[in-house]
Amino acid sequence: MTKIIIACFLFISFVVYSGFIYTRGTANNIKLSGSEQKMIAHGKQIYQQYNCQACHQIYGLGGYLGPDLTTAWSDPQRGKYLIKAMLISGGNRMPAFQFNNEQTEAIIAYLKYVDTTATSLKPRIRQELH
Ligand code: HEC
């Protein structure tokens, strides 16, 4: 009898747990207005059009000449102004694309969005930095 009760308990736990895990999905509760979505999509389009991924990684995927940009936006040592400066004037090896203000803002919006979705990556990167 005890075995049956334990088996039932385990089975019910499994069903409840599975229900919980599979109905929660991967939604991240990020709410974007229509204009923000347009900006981000435009930034992503520029990112692809100018082949940024040839040198940069996002979520660890891409080329290795330049740094990973997934958390560039929230990184205390990089952030919005370094991104902006790089996009306008370039670096030692980063090409100077001379983007206009509208293009720069779109790329920043895209990188900011990517950053907000990188929840599991952030603790690891902070640990590596310190
Ligand atoms: C030819 C390779 C190359 C391409 C293409 C390239 N980058 Fe870079 N990028 C670099 C390198 C290398 C650095 C590091 C600074 C340096 O050495 O110039 C960098 C730095 C940056 C930085 C500063 C972040 C940091 O951690 O230093 C940003 C932001 C950036 N790139 C964005 C972009 C975007 C957006 C594009 C596409 C429009 C792009 N890059 C295309 C090579 C590249």
Which structural domains are found in the chain, ordered by start? 31-129 (1.10.760.10)
Written as tens digits, the pLDDT of the chain (130 aa) is 899 999 999 999 999 999 988 887 666 677 889 999 999 999 999 999 999 999 999 999 999 999 999 999 999 899 999 999 999 999 999 999 989 999 999 999 999 999 988 877 776 555 565 5
d(CA 87, CA 38) in angstroms, rounded, equals 20
| Cβ 73 under 6 angstroms from ligand 1 | no
CB 66 less than 6 A from any atom of ligand 1:
yes
Write down the residue that tokens 């990684």 correspond to.
Answer: 57
Spatial neighbors of 77 by CB under 8 A, at least 6 apart, are 129
